[in-house]
Amino acid sequence: MFETLHKATLDKIFVLMAEYAADPRSEKIDLGVGVYKDETGNTPIMSAVRKAEARIHENARTKTYVGVSGNRGFCNAIVDLVLADSVDRSRVRTAQGPGGTGALWILIQLLNRAKPGARVMISDPSWPNHWPMMELAGLTPEHYPYFDPKTRAVDFDAMLATLDTLGPDDIVLLHACCHNPTGANLTEAQWDQVAASLARTGAFPLLDLAYLGFGDGLEADAYAARKLASSVPEMMIAFSGSKNFGLYRERAGCAIAIARDEAGADIVGSQMSNVIRASFSQPPDHGAEIIRVILEDPALRAEWEAELAQMRERMKRLRVKLAEAIRKQSNATDYDFIAEHSGMFSLLGLERDVVERLKTEDGVYMINDSRINVAGIPEDRVDALASHLLAATRQ
């Protein structure tokens, strides 16, 4: 059986994590994998999560099956959080997925049923899992221009020009906020233009929303989702609770589909359930139940929002500090973009050999495309990191 197979390559992120763990240097700096870290380098369990877990532990009376579409209270709370009143709920159907990846998987399976082999436009670059997921589902990935390595900002004219050429048979995957890996995002005015383009061409938007609240706040980060929901007849959103609730391993995500009307929504909802039944039958409940308890309880919700704001502000502060330290040491503004980007990442635009040197000579770890996780910047050693970056790029 297995003799027809070749050894598959592991995602480079996991290789880097292993290299970092094996590095004995005490001054090593981990700007690699996309998980939030506090000032001690720990990825904390949020206090609202601990309290919700205690409550669940106290009150739960059964572990029987929840249902194919998962925790309904969780899904409804996520629709409230993401879409607010931007769309008539009779057009919305949801299913819980195992993480944001699971939610995305349900949605793209459904898209491939609706339009087998359809073209999916993906930002260049994008989260490394997007392309293989589309291929595995049977869809046809292609890139649209996104990041300009010279300005380290979105090349919006090129992006929009490509979107304008699409038609009703095309799907467009968009990062709703906090773009991974670049950190470069659209302004609200640019989202308005994207919404108008999609409404005009009929291309179908699929939003990946994995970092709600990590950019400029829960409301600001939901702008794209709400703007598109009120502008186009049909769309989908894959929500992840991994980062903003710190629930990574619990796998809590929500697949949201918006149809033209209620009858269309019923069909889409039934198809989502059908895909899930044949894929993994039911999602895990624990993470979703934690999020439901938090979002439905005003006090826990306020605690979560405050903790999320703290995480967001810490990442912003680290961005500003690193950009300032580089500016001070180099007398140049080349790295000011780090402070202008938002979310957990910035793509520095370094050559592969520079990234490699930073790792081997200085113990500074980042993804080989030069993506840094800003939550990994050591606040007390920002100057040292700045000098490593400057020295490595000067060689």
Residues in touch with ligand PLP (CB under 6 A): 34, 99-101, 127, 175, 180, 208, 210, 240, 242, 248, 253
When CB distances are held under 5 to 8 angstroms depending on the partner's kind, the choice from ligand TYF, ligand PLP, none that residue 162 binds is none
CA 166 vs CA 50, 107, 144, 200: distances in Å: 46, 20, 11, 10
Nearer of residues 13 and 384 to ligand TYF, judged by Cβ? 13
User: Closer CB to ligand TYF, residue 34 or residue 97?
Assistant: 34
Q: Which does 253 bind (CB under 5 to 8 A by kind): ligand PLP, ligand TYF, none?
A: ligand PLP
218 binds, among ligand TYF, ligand PLP, none (CB under 5 to 8 A by kind): none
Judged by beta carbon, residue 210 or residue 235, the one nearer ligand PLP is 210
Residues 36 and 311 sit within 8 Å (Cβ to Cβ): yes
To the query of whether residue 243 is one of the catalytic residues in this protein, the response is yes
Smallest distance from the beta carbon of 86 to ligand TYF, in angstroms?
A: 28
Annotation marks residue 323 as catalytic: no
**3-class SS string, 340-352:** HCCCCEEECCCCH
**Choosing from 52, 77, 127, 227, which is the catalytic residue?**
127
From the CB of residue 216, how many other CB atoms can be counted at a distance below 10 Å? 17
210 as an active site residue: the answer is yes
Which uninterrupted H or E stretch holds 252? strand 252-258
Least CB distance to ligand PLP at residue 214 (A)? 10
Nearest approach, Cβ of 175 to ligand TYF (angstroms)? 11
CB 28 within 8 A of CB 43: no
Which residues, including other chains, have CB under 8 Å from residue 20's CB and lie 6 or more apart?
A: 28, 30, 32, 365
The active-site residue, picked from 243, 359, 375, 392, is 243
Given the residues 210, 222, 229, 288, select the one marked as catalytic: 210
List, as one string, the DSSP characters of 342-386: -SSEEE----HHHHHHHHHHH-EE--TT-EEEGGGS-GGGHHHHH
Binding site for ligand TYF (CB under 6 A): 13, 33-34, 127, 180
Tell me, yes or no, if 127 is annotated catalytic: yes
Q: How far apart are the C-alpha atoms of 145 and 123, rounded to whole Å?
A: 6
